[in-house]
Structure 1
Amino acid sequence: MPEQMINTVQVQAAPGCSDELGRHLQQIVDTLRQLPGCDTYMVDRCPEDDDRWTVSAHWQSETAMQTHFNCPEVQGFINLLDSRLASSIDFNSFPIV
């Protein structure tokens, strides 16, 4: 049986851009949650730091998650740096145990 996976993206907003960043993250998530093999995809603002956002996704398998990483829509996260809405982005993934 394929191993279920979670991936997270921690995004730090550039100064003064947190609300706009949140709107862009939600647009990215709304697009990506339609991908095959995705169980959930959500974006949350960190309760301890209004400038930090967490995007998380639950995948039916590692293969589905890897396919997701190769789709062009994921480039939207990198574009947040290019547009200067985000000052840092940290990607992680791990199996659900």
Structure 2
Amino acid sequence: MTQQTRSTVRIHAAHGRTEELHLYLHSIVERLPQIPGCLASTLKRDEHDSDLWIIDVNWESCAAMSAHFAQPNNEGLNGLLSKQFVRQVAFDSDIERCNLPEL
């Protein structure tokens, strides 16, 4: 039996770019369920920091999550950087529990 897992990305908007970042992240989160192994994804704004957006993704397995992040082309991340929407990005996952090599 495979065990479901999750990943979380916390993204701080660059000064004055919060609403633009929100629209960009919303478009990414809408497409995530089309990725093999993605069960669900959500986007929310932090209740204490209006410049902080949080994406939570539930994966059907550790292997599905690992396969997604091993892809060489990450259009979403590239867009965040090229459009200068962010000042900080933090990633958290269950990778240690999965006993998979770090990416």
| Alignment TM-score > 0.5, same fold | yes
What is the alpha-carbon distance in structure 2 between the residues aligned to residue 14 and residue 81 of structure 1? Answer: 11
Could you tell me the TM-score, scaled by structure 2's length? 0.83
Query: Relative CO higher for 1 or 2, CA cutoff 8 Å, sep ≥ 6?
Result: 1
Per the alignment, residue 56 of structure 2 pairs with: 56
SS at match of 1:39: strand
Letter matched to residue 5 of structure 1: T
Alignment RMSD (CA, Å): 1.4
Measured in 2, the distance between the counterparts of 1:77 and 1:54 equals 14
Shift of residue 22, structure 1, vs aligned partner: 0.6
Tell me by how many angstroms 1:66 deviates. Answer: 1.0
In structure 1, runs of 5+ residues without a counterpart are: none
Give the residue type in structure 2 aligned to 1:57: V
Please give the alpha-carbon distance, in whole angstroms, between the structure 1 residues aligned to 2:89 and 2:7. Answer: 13
Letter paired with 2:41 = Y
TM-superposed CA distance for 1:79, in Å, is 2.6
Query: Could you report, residue by residue, the CA deviation over 1:31-68 in whole angstroms, capped at 9, with x for unpaired residues?
Result: 22211211111111111111000001001100111111
Rg larger in structure: 2
Percent sequence identity is 34
1:69 and 2:69 aligned: yes
Aligned residues: 94
Moved more, 31-40 or 19-28: 31-40
Q: Going by fraction, where is strand more abundant, 1 or 2?
A: 1
Query: Under a length normalisation based on structure 1, what TM-score does the superposition of the two structures give?
Result: 0.87
Query: Unmatched 5+ residue regions in structure 2?
Result: 98-103
